[in-house]
């Protein structure tokens, strides 16, 4: 890439919660630029693709996920003149929220967000923007359930909020809020046992998309 060539790329922030820790998928860059560094998965937009097609392709190639089974949204554009030493590249960031998954095959691996520093290009900024978007959206939408398996307990859902926000929540107030929001959680006929106390009710995600009133973010 030389001269005045202008390319369009997609960079993908894939967030999950693993063992109670907000984590993101990073890939090891084998060649220049930034050889040996970690960066976000992504690629250039092909002639026959729109932006979402490219994001979906990268999601499928890196971790084997397909749309529309998982949440994917456009984050924004990144077009600093010097963001790519090879030439002018406009990157469009995308945010994907997924449940806990095994380590992908190939050069990608899950890393705690708190440890994902010094990334290639401007990927640290894209990641920071994506994490803030996810944190904000959990206040007024039901997207936290995107991190959960198909059936989950209220305690598991609370763990998602705590991992994303980085703060502990009052269990009783949380349960009252999420079970009191119409169509957020739909009870199943199953319960899970473990530890002390009575078995916990399993739920699956309902059709609701908005939390009203919102669940205000708790800061550490």
For residues 58 and 151, which has the higher predicted lDDT (pLDDT)?
151
pLDDT band of 195, cuts 50, 70, 90: low
| pLDDT recorded at residue 2 | 52
Q: How confident is the model at residue 220 (pLDDT cuts 50, 70, 90)?
A: low
Q: Please give the Cα distance from 91 to 11 (Å, whole number).
A: 6
Which position has the higher pLDDT, 84 or 194?
84
Q: Which of 61, 59, 54 is nearest to 15 (CA)?
A: 59
According to CATH, what is the number of the domain 6-133?
Answer: 3.90.79.10
User: Bridge-partner residues for 120, per DSSP?
Assistant: none
Please list the residues that pair with 18 across neighbouring strands. Answer: 21
- The CATH class of the 141-205 domain is mainly alpha
With a pLDDT cut of 70, the percent of the chain lying above it is 93
pLDDT score of 62 more than 80 = no
pLDDT value, residue 1: 46
pLDDT digits (tens, 9 = 90+) for 96-125: 999 998 877 677 899 999 999 999 999 999
Q: How large is the average pLDDT for residues 14-22?
A: 96
Domain range list for the chain: 6-133, 141-205
Share of the chain above pLDDT 90, in %: 70
Stretch 29-38: mean pLDDT, rounded?
88
CA dist 176 and 153 (Å) reads 13
Mean pLDDT, the chain, whole residue set = 91
One fold for both 6-133 and 141-205?
A: no
Residue 59's pLDDT band (boundaries 50, 70, 90)? confident
Q: Please report which confidence band the pLDDT of residue 68 belongs to, taking 50, 70 and 90 as the band edges.
A: low
């Amino acid at each position: 890439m030389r001269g005045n060539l202008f390319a369009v790329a997609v960079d993908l922030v894939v967030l999950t919660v693993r063992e109670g820790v907000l984590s993101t998928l990073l890939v090891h860059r084998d060649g220049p630029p930034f050889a040996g560094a970690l960066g976000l998965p992504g690629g250039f937009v092909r002639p026959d693709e729109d932006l979402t097609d490219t994001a979906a392709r990268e999601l499928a190639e890196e971790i084997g996920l397909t749309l529309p089974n998982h949440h994917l949204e456009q984050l924004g554009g990144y077009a600093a003149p010097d963001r790519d030493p090879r030439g002018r590249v406009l990157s469009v960031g995308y945010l994907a929220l997924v449940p806990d998954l095994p380590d992908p095959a190939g050069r990608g691996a899950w890393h705690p967000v708190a440890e994902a520093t010094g990334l290639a290009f401007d990927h640290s900024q894209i990641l920071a923007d994506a994490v803030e978007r996810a944190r904000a959206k959990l206040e007024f939408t039901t997207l936290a359930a995107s991190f959960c398996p198909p059936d989950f307990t209220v305690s598991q859902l609370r763990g998602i909020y705590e991992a994303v926000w980085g703060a502990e929540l009052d269990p009783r107030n949380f349960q009252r809020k999420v079970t009191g929001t119409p169509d957020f959680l739909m009870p199943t006929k199953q319960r899970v046992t473990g530890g002390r106390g009575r078995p916990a009710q399993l739920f699956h995600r309902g059709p609701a998309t908005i939390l009203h009133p919102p669940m205000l973010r708790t800061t550490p």
